[in-house]
Chain A
Amino acid sequence: MEATSIGAAGGGRPSLEAPNRRTGEKAIKGLLALCAVLSVLTTTAIVIALIGPTISFFQTVSFGEFFSTDWSPTFNPPSFGVFDIIMGTLNVTLWGMLFAIPIGLGAAIYLAEYASRRVRKVVKPIIEILAGIPTVAIGFFAVSFLLPIIQNVWPGEFLGGADKPFLAIAAGLGIGLLIVPIIASISEDAMSAVPQGLREGAYAMGATKAKVATRVVFPAALSGIVASIVLGISRAVGETMIVVLAAGSTPNATLNPVESIQAITSFVAVVATGDISQGSITYESVFAAGTVLFLMTLALNVISIRLVRRFREVYD
C-alpha cells in the first residue's frame, strides 16, 4: 500500500516525502495525550468537588470558629472546631509512626546490608504483602485482636486507663503495620542504590558492618529514607477504615494513646454514610474537613516526591 503510493508520486524517481500527511498518527498521538490529560482533570475535579461546598460552608461558619476546638457538627446547635479532629488524625499518626519508623527502618537496613540475596528475595515480597492487605481487614485485626491485648497489658490508671471501648493506639498500631512495608521497601531501595565503593572504603578503614550501615550507608541514603517516612505519614493521615473501626468516633483534641478519638477521615466516612441532605451545613462540613485533609496530604506528597527525585538523581 505504501510502496505503491511512493511509486505513483514521482513518475521517475520516488519522492522522499511522506506518502500521506500521517493524520492517523497525529490523531492517535492526540488521543493518547487526552488519556494523560485525564489525570490532570481528576485533580482539577477533586479541587472543584471540594471547593464549592467549602466556600458555602465558610459563609455560615467563621474562620475563627473553624480553627478552634469542639467539633460536633451533628449536634444542635452545631459546633465546628476542626482542631478536635485534626488532633485525632495526629494522634493515630504519631503512634503509628512511632511503631512503623523503627520497625520499617530496621527491616530496611537488615534487607539492604545484612540479608543474603536469597533471604531478601523471599522476605521482601512477604513484607510487601502487608501493604496489599485491605485496610478493613487490618482495622478488624486492630479492634478484635490488638485492642483487647492493649486493654489487658496497660498499666492500670496510667494516662487515664485503657478501659474505653475504642483506643487511639489500637488504630495507631494497625496503621503502623500498614506503613512498615512502605518505609521498609522505599528505604531499602534507597540504601541499595548507595554505591558499593562507599562501603568498601569504610571497610578498608576498619569499620564494622554496623558502623558501615549506620554511619555510611544510612546518611548517604537519607533523602530516600526521609521520603519514605513522609510518604508513610501521608498514608497514615489519609487512612480511614482502621481509624473508623478501632479508634471510635469521639472528637477529642488529645494525643493520649488510650483515648477514644475521631480523625478527619473517620468523620468524613461516618457522617457521609448517614442520611444527610445535600446543601445542609453538615453536608458542607464533610467537604470542609475533606479540604483540610487534602491540603495536609498534598503538602506531604510534594515533599516526598521532591526528596525521592533528589536521591534518584544523585546515584542513577
Chain B
Amino acid sequence: MESAVPPTERARYAVAGARANVAATLGSQPRGDVNRNNAFAGLLFLSILIALAGLLALLIQAGVEGAPAISTNLLTEPPSTIDTANAGFRPALIGSVMMIVFVIVLIVPLGVGSAIYLEEYADGTKWWNRIIELNIQNLAAVPSIIYGILGLGLIVRGPLSLGFILLAGAITLALLVLPVVIIAAREAIRAVPPSIREGSLALGATQWQTIRRQVLPAAIPGVATGVILAVSRALGETAPLLLVGATVFVTFDPTPLEGNYSALPVQIFQYATRPQEDFQTLAAAGIMLMLVVLIAMNSVAIWLRNRYEQKW
C-alpha cells in the first residue's frame, strides 16, 4: 500500500518522535551544567571582546590625538623642531619608499628561489635540507633587533663596510623579512597539485620548464600575498633601523648610497620620545598615516588571494 507521506518525511517524524521521547523521560541536562556552560562561553566571548577593544582603542587613540596634525604637510614637509605646526614626514617617507623598492628587488628572487628549491628539488630526508628548513623556521622568530646587530656588525661595518647609508638599512630589512616570503611562497607552491606537474612532465617538459610554465603561474597569487605581507612588515620595522643609521632628524631628501636617511616608523619614534604636546600629535598623525598604508596593503593582499586563488 502506498503511503501518503514520502519515506524521508516519515524518517524525520520518527527521529523527532524518538527525540521527544528521550527528552521526556531523561529530562534536559542538569541546571548546574547548563549554567556553568553558559558562564564559560561568556568568559570566552569576553576575551575576544577585550582583544578587539584593545585594537579599537589603539586606532581611536591614534586618530583622536593625531587629528589636529592631519594635512598634506605630513607628506610634503620635512620634520622640524621649531616650526612644529608645519612639520611632516617627507624625508622619512621617501626613505621608506626607497628602502621598500630595494627590499622587493632583493626578497622576490631570493625568497621565491629558495621556496622553489625546497619544494621542487630538495630531498626532505637529507640532513642538509632539514637544516635549511629548521634554520628558516628559526630565522622567522629571531628578534628584529638582532638583525640590527647583524647589520651594524657586518653590513655597516665589518666585511661589507657600507657605512650608515640607506642601502645598508634596506639589506638589513630584506634579511629580516626573507623568511616570511620563503614560508608563504612554499605554501603557495605546495598548493599546486602534483597532477599538474605530472601532466607537464608526461608531455616531455623538463623539470624547470614544468616549474616555470605550470607551477609558478599557478602559485603567483600566493607568492604575491606573501611578498605584500613581508613588505608591510618591513615598512613597520623600527628597531633594526635604529642600529644601522636611520637617524634622528633628516631634513633633506635622502639618497640611496650616501648620507643620512630616515624611515617613517623611525621618525614616528623620534617624535614619540619628545614629551611636548606638538610632537605627540605629530607621532599620532604619523601612526595614522602608517596604519592607513599598511591596512591598504593588507587589503590588497587579501583581495589578491580571494580573487586569483585557484581551487583545484
Contacts and interface: CB of A to CB of B under 8 A. Distances in A.
B312 interface: no
Interface string A141-171: 1011100000000000000000000000000
A297 B41 CA distance: 35
A28 B137 contact: no
Interface of B is mostly: helix
B298 A180 contact: no
Interface in B79-137: 109-111, 113-114, 116-118, 121-122, 131-132, 134-137
A79 B52 CA distance: 44
A43 B137 CA distance: 11
A135 interface: yes
Nearest to A165: B275
A42 B139 contact: yes
Interface string A206-218: 1011110110000
A137 B291 contact: yes
Contacts of B235: 134
A244 to B, nearest CB: 8
A205 interface: no
Interface in B118-168: 118, 121-122, 131-132, 134-139, 141-150, 152-154, 157-158
Contacts of A231: 141
A140 B110 contact: no
B54 A40 contact: no
Contact size class for A? 35 or more
A238 B122 contact: no
Contacts of A111: 48
Interface string A258-278: 000000010011001100001
Contacts of A132: 229, 232-233, 236, 294, 298
Most chain B Cβ neighbours within 10 Å, of A106, A109, A137: A137
B52 A127 contact: yes
Interface in B170-211: 175, 178-179, 182, 204, 206-208
Interface residues of B, number: 89
B139 A209 contact: no
B46 A287 contact: no
B139 A43 contact: yes
B290 A134 contact: yes
Interface string A125-143: 1110110111111111101
A141 to B, nearest CB: 5
A298 interface: yes
A49 B52 contact: no
13 contacts: A2-B204, A25-B208, A39-B178, A50-B146, A107-B44, A110-B45, A132-B294, A133-B58, A137-B58, A138-B58, A177-B58, A181-B51, A208-B33
